[in-house]
Amino acid sequence: MENSCKRLTLHVQGLDCPNEEKLLRKAFQGREGVRPLAFDLIQGRMTVEYDPARVQEEEIHGWIASTGMKTSRPQFNPPRSPYSGGVFGQGILRESPLLLVAAGLLLLSFGSWVSGTPEWITETVLAGVLVSSAWKLAPKVWMGFRALRFDMHVLMAIAVAGAIGLGEWSEAAIVAFLFALSQELEKFSIGRAQSAIESLIALSPATADVIRDSGIENHPVEDVLPGERILVRPGARIALDGKVMRGSSYVNEAPITGESVPVPKGEGSTVYAGSLNQDGSLEIQVDKRAHESTLARVIELVDNARTRRAPVEHLVDRFARVYTPAVIALAVVLALAPPLLGGLWPDWIYRAMALLLISCPCALVISTPVSLICALTSAARNGILIKGGAYLEETSRTRVVAFDKTGTLTSGRLRVAHVVALNGQPMEDVIRLAAAVEHHSQHPLARAVGAYAETSCRRGVPEARDFISFPGRGAMAEVEGRRILVGNHRFFHEKGFCSEEMHERMVLHEQDERIAVGVAADGIPLGAILIEDTVRPEAAACVRALKNLNISRVILLSGDNAGTARKIADDVGIEEVHAELLPQDKASLIEELARQEGHVLMAGDGVNDAPALAAATVGIAMGAIGADVALETAPVALMNDDLGKIPWLICHSRRTVRIIGWNIGLALGMKMFFVLMAILGWATLWMAILADMGTSLLVTFNGMRLLKGKTA
């Protein structure tokens, strides 16, 4: 399909089982100009890609409607699931009151049977149980029969009809009631898992107090435009991203960064939607629409991550596609072969019906996505944005962790320690000419030079023209009629600008673990700017934690000289160091490590280290809060600069994979056990329903344990 194609995500009512997914895929099969991309069974969402020149959106809705399912557009602030809060009984009252009627009638039928009431009265009450239990499920049963697909609803209907045909009215009623109850319990458990993402959505207020000439007016956040000002009172949540124009306060940014320690904010500070203002009023100028805020982007990316399926999900799906028809075929053989060889028809038909009820693989199929949803949401709460279950699974297998130095292991808050002038050049000229060139760069070294020039240059910083960047080495531009080159020691040697005196000065300071930046004009060295950085306070603890997690190699990568890189590595406890690397060198090294070790995690700043991050099995961008590039490109993004979250992420990913393994093992084990029980005639129809319902609930609640991961 062409690049002009659009993507459309729809909420599909009734999409909660692999069989519905198959039905939708079949509805789109052979349709030109459109293809289904992803299905989220937990949220009941479907994403399609279509060519608007060939297919209208209304047609897509029509094709979905042909399956008997209804569609609607997902909302930024969607209504909460009826089961995402409160208790199960309240949800039943709202969603399926007839189920309570069925429960009452079932108890009444038991009482009538105990008291010896005539059989026809008991059977009439049981018929009432059947009707009230199956009333809400009947549309899905009809859809299944019409489409000739053997989903759980059709299999249940066959089993109930068979039980009635065998005269087992009580068993038919119990099966119908337990199945209806299991459907509501499954909605309840999945609603609780769904509430994890809803809790993120709830962090963003629905309205904001907008400051207008006429006074303060309360408006929906969707109506507030960039440039307008809002008032945030103490104790209120900030509704939109923006900049503080008046006031000061401490703001808790835990919803975005996972860091619970409040951050001081004053005039000029950037604040984010969803953050909690604590003790002062803030007047904020909005710089993003509600749907463009950092929190909205995080919610959207976490939401989208659920459709990027992990390899284990594809494996489970492939197994389920084989398992279900195989068990149905076995049920048919079980119903026909033994009676033809002399067995009793009612006995073997009953066993076949029990086997049919066990054939639906719902527990197996939901065992993985529920766990991944909870794991992804828990990570987001801790300020770690993961773009899909595949990256979480890959992180669990990490064997090597590589760190960029500047801005990752170090604070990145570089400062100029000293300026050396050569050839009779005034010291101020060295810094002002370098600052003119570096003004066009976003590198941390450039920012340090610019900051120093602002406070030390009385004549100001001149303009630079014809700027050229040499990544990993330096930059060049025309300043005041001269060609000014700013770069590292290696770059000066390459250009032939490094005089003997310049070389001696740079080597001397590099041995003191400082970063030396040379400055030259028209090929003549003017001097060197000596810059120093500080190690992050949590870096050494992070490296120790990684070694305790049995990470085989922890590596430092740097474009700086070997002396500076070695000093930082010694401070944090890293033995393996690779220095004086260009961006492409870092990427090549990461590729080689991936070939040697299999799974490499790389942490960097998300922009300068983009090639290396892309080459790693899993790339982690540091400090992505507010950084659109990092949010869009990095498979994993730390919303603040806390290195301690990397060991937490590895532990969290390993725990997620373990729980998924337990869920798959539990689902398969229970299925195989009851298949055997059904064949041997030891499983009743209601036991088969209980087994399916119980297993689905067990794997769901087991996966939800991931929501309660310890705070990083």
Of the candidates 438, 385, 387, 447, the one whose C-alpha atom is nearest the C-alpha of residue 411 is 447
The upper half-sphere exposure of residue 301, i.e. CA atoms within 13 Å in the direction of its Cβ, equals 24
CA–CA separation, 629 and 590 (whole Å): 21
CA–CA separation, 508 and 491 (whole Å): 17
CA–CA separation, 200 and 190 (whole Å): 16
Q: What is the DSSP letter of 443?
A: S
- Which segments of 275-361 does DSSP mark as H helices, in order? 294-305, 311-340, 345-358
* Residue 319 dihedral angles phi and psi, to the nearest 5°: -65, -45
> One of 40, 241, 404, 533 is an active-site residue; which one?
404
CA–CA separation, 305 and 386 (whole Å): 7
CA–CA separation, 289 and 270 (whole Å): 15
CB-based burial of residue 264 (10 Å sphere; 0-12 exposed, 13-18 middle, 19+ buried)?
Answer: exposed
Of the candidates 395, 397, 361, the one whose C-alpha atom is nearest the C-alpha of residue 375 is 395
* Residue 284 dihedral angles phi and psi, to the nearest 5°: -120, 135
Hey, is 290 helix, strand or coil?
helix
Of the candidates 114, 122, 113, 130, the one whose C-alpha atom is nearest the C-alpha of residue 172 is 130
Phi-psi sector, 166: left (phi>0), alpha (psi -120 to 50), beta: alpha
Which residues are CB-neighbours of 259 under 8 A, at least 6 positions away?
A: 253, 383, 640, 642
CA–CA separation, 380 and 200 (whole Å): 9
- Is beta strand 524-532 parallel, antiparallel or unpaired with respect to 515-521? antiparallel
Amino acid, single-letter form, for residue 263: V
Contact (Cβ atoms closer than 8 angstroms) between residue 144 and residue 158: no
What is the torsion angle, in degrees rounded to the nearest 10, for the CA atoms of residue 362, residue 364, residue 368 and residue 373? Answer: 20
Hey, is 318 helix, strand or coil?
helix
Of the candidates 601, 643, 638, 640, the one whose C-alpha atom is nearest the C-alpha of residue 621 is 638
Indicate if 279 belongs to the active site: no
Q: Can you read off the two tokens belonging to residue 159? A: 């089993």
Exposure b/e, 490-519, CB count within 10 A at least 16 = b:
bbbeebebbeeebeebbeebbeebbbbbbb
Amino acid, single-letter form, for residue 199: S
- Is beta strand 70-72 parallel, antiparallel or unpaired with respect to 215-220? unpaired
3-state secondary structure 36-61: EEEEECCCCEEEEEECCCCCCHHHHH
Give the residue numbers annotated as catalytic, written as ranges: 404
